[in-house]
């Protein structure tokens, strides 16, 4: 007999689907519980409020995406190679995990991200590499947070472009390579 799925995980997966389909405001907790086939009281046992649920889902997905990208960074790679690996793997993860990526994008552009504040979030490991690249004059002497924002905005834009067109795997790889080269030219000293 297969193991019963973890109720907390079922709630998170159902919330992910519904938040991506309908947005945060148009997804009541009662609907999440109903579609998860779990009592509303059980939902509130795991997540006292909808805000707690949204923040928990964000933390989980952010951690998963970071782990995925960090596995792609090889030991002994140069900083430019690490930045490129982050860019390439961010796009691969986004294309392979579209609902998760859509949720993360929705979250960071919502009041929830401002509520949580940067103090509660652990800095992304790529920030250290960006800081070192700036210190070693491998990229322009810009604010690290700005370079990180440009990098993530580039990923978001390229991801949306690739989703809006039917590209082959080879074409996607070429687009990823070309757009990274464009990004690198933008931040090069």
Alpha-carbon span 38 to 7, nearest angstrom? 7
Inter-residue contact 57 to 103 (CB < 8 Å): yes
Alpha carbons within 13 A on the beta-carbon side of 163: 16
pLDDT digits (tens, 9 = 90+) for 39-64: 999 999 999 999 999 999 999 999 89
User: Alpha helix (H) ranges present in 72-168?
Assistant: 79-96, 98-108, 111-116, 126-135, 144-163
Q: How confident is the model at residue 121 (pLDDT cuts 50, 70, 90)?
A: low
pLDDT of residue 37 exceeding 50, the answer is yes
Inter-residue contact 139 to 188 (CB < 8 Å): yes
Q: What is the pTM of this model?
A: 0.84
So where are the chain's domains?
Answer: 1-48, 62-187
How would CATH label the architecture of 1-48? Orthogonal Bundle (1.10)
Residues 6+ apart with CB under 8 A from 183: 87, 150, 151, 154
pLDDT digits (tens, 9 = 90+) for 123-172: 677 888 899 999 999 999 999 999 999 999 999 999 999 999 889 999 99
Do the first three CATH levels of 1-48 and 62-187 match, i.e. the same topology? no
Q: How far apart are the first and last CA of the chain?
A: 60
Tell me the average pLDDT across 60-70. 88
pLDDT of residue 119 exceeding 60, the answer is no
Please enumerate, as own/partner, the contacts of 96-99 that have beta carbons within 8 Å and a separation of 24 or more.
97/64, 97/65, 98/163, 99/16, 99/17, 99/20
Decide if domain 62-187 falls under CATH 1.10.357.10.
yes
The greatest distance separating any two alpha carbons of the chain, rounded to the nearest whole angstrom, comes to: 60
pLDDT of 122: 61
Relative orientation angle of helices 79-96 and 50-71, to the nearest 10 degrees: 130
């Amino acid at each position: 007999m297969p193991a019963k799925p973890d109720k907390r995980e079922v709630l998170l997966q159902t919330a992910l689907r519904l938040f991506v389909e309908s947005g945060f405001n148009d997804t009541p907790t009662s609907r999440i519980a109903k579609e998860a086939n779990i009592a509303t009281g059980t939902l509130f046992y795991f997540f006292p409020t909808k805000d707690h649920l949204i923040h928990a889902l964000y933390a989980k997905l952010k951690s998963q995406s970071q782990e995925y990208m960090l596995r792609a960074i090889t030991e002994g790679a140069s900083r430019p190679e690490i930045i490129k690996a982050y860019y390439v793997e961010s796009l691969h993860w986004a294309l392979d995990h579209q609902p998760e990526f859509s949720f993360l994008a929705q979250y960071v552009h919502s009041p929830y991200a401002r509520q949580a504040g940067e103090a509660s979030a652990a800095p992304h490991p790529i920030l250290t590499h960006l800081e070192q690249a700036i210190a070693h004059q491998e990229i322009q002497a810009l604010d690290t947070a700005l370079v990180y924002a440009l990098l993530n905005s580039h990923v978001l834009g390229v991801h949306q472009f690739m989703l809006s067109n039917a590209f082959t795997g080879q074409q996607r790889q070429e687009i990823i390579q070309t757009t990274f080269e464009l990004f690198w030219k933008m931040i090069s000293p």
